[in-house]
Structure 1
Amino acid sequence: MENSTQFKFFIVDDDIFCANVYEQYLSNLNYTDITYFSNGKDCLSNLDQNPDIIFLDYNMDDLTGFEVLKKIKRYNPNVYVVMVSGQENIKTAVDALKHGAFDYVTKNAFVCEKITQIINKISQVKTELNYSNPTIFKKLMGFL
C-alpha cells in the first residue's frame, strides 16, 4: 500500500527562483517526487506521469494558468491543482476555483506555510474520499 502522504508534485512556473523555493521547501518536508516545468506546454505533455498535486503559476508567457488548468482538468479531473499568483486578486482567485483549482495562493512571505496547509488539506480530502466512497455507494444502492 502506497504511503498516502507521499505525493507526486509538478511545479509549473516560469520564474525559476520561485520554483526553486517551492521545490526546496517540499524537499524539506521529505517529499521526493517533484518535477519542475518552466512552462504550461511541458506540463501538459507530461500529464501521463500522473501527478497528484500541481502548483501552477497563473501568469506565464506561453499559456495562461487558466488555459493550462482547464486542460489539466480535462485530462484528469482528479489532479489537485493549486494556482499560484504574484498578484493578490480576488477575481483571479474566484476564477481559478471556478475552473477547478483546489486552492489559490499568492506569492508572498507566507507562501510556504500556505503550501503546507494545502498539502495537509489534500491529504485529509484523499483520506476521507477513500473512507466515504463505500458508504456513498451503499447509500445509493439503498443498503443503508
Structure 2
Amino acid sequence: MENLPQIKFFIVEEDIFCANVYNQYLLNMNYNDITHYANGTDCINNLHQNPDIIFLYHHMEDINGFEVLKKIKQYNSNIYVIMISRQENTKTVVNALRLGAFDYIIKGNDSYEKIELIINKIIAIKEQLKASHPGFIKRLLSIF
C-alpha cells in the first residue's frame, strides 16, 4: 500500500445516509481524518480546524451551499471545495466554479469514482506546488 498524504476532510451534507456513504468511501481509501457537519453553519464555525478538502452539498436548509462556499474562500482560499448536488444545471455548475469551487459532482452512481479522481487530482496539484516552490515557506518565515 502506498503512503497517502495526510488530508483533513469535511463532509457537509444534510442527508446522514449520503454523509455516511461518503465517509465510508474515504475510510476505504485509507483516509481517516474526516468530520461530518449536517449544515453549513457548523462547517463555517469549524474552519479553524483547517480542512484540506471540503465536500459541500449545494442545497442545504440552513444556509445555501454558495454562501458557505463564499465564507470558506474568504477564510482560506487554499481549501479545496467540491460542490455536490443533484442538480444538472449548467448555471449552477458555472456559479460554483466561479465562486471558487475546485469541482462539482452531480449525485449519481458514479459519484464515488469521481471523488477518488478529484482527490488524486488535488494530491497531484499539491505535490506540483510543493515541488515548484520548495523553499517558499522557509523564505517567507525568514522575513519575520
Task: Assess same fold via TM > 0.5.
Answer: yes
The CA deviation at 1:4 is 6.1
Q: Which runs of 5+ in 1 are unaligned?
A: 137-144
The CA deviation at 1:20 is 0.7
Pairing 1:130–2:120 present: no
The CA deviation at 1:135 is 9.2
Normalising by structure 2, what TM-score? 0.89
Equivalence map 1:22-61=2 (5 Å): 22-61=22-61
The CA deviation at 1:132 is 1.4
Counterpart-to-counterpart distance in 2, 1:70 and 1:23: 24
CA change 1:135–1:114 in 2 (3 A) is: same
Give the structure 2 partner of residue 81 of structure 1.
81
Give the structure 2 partner of residue 68 of structure 1.
68
1:52-110 deviations in Å (ceiling 9; x for gaps): 00000000001100000000000000000000001111111111000000000011000
Q: Which runs of 5+ in 2 are unaligned?
A: 137-144
Give the structure 2 partner of residue 139 of structure 1.
none
Give the structure 2 partner of residue 8 of structure 1.
8
Secondary structure class of the residue paired with 2:133: helix
Counterpart AA for 2:11: I
Count of matched residue pairs: 134
Runs (4 or more) in structure 1 with deviation over 3 Å come to none
- Given that 1:4 and 1:123 are in contact with CA atoms closer than 8 Å, whether structure 2 keeps it comes out as no
CA RMSD of aligned residues (A): 1.5
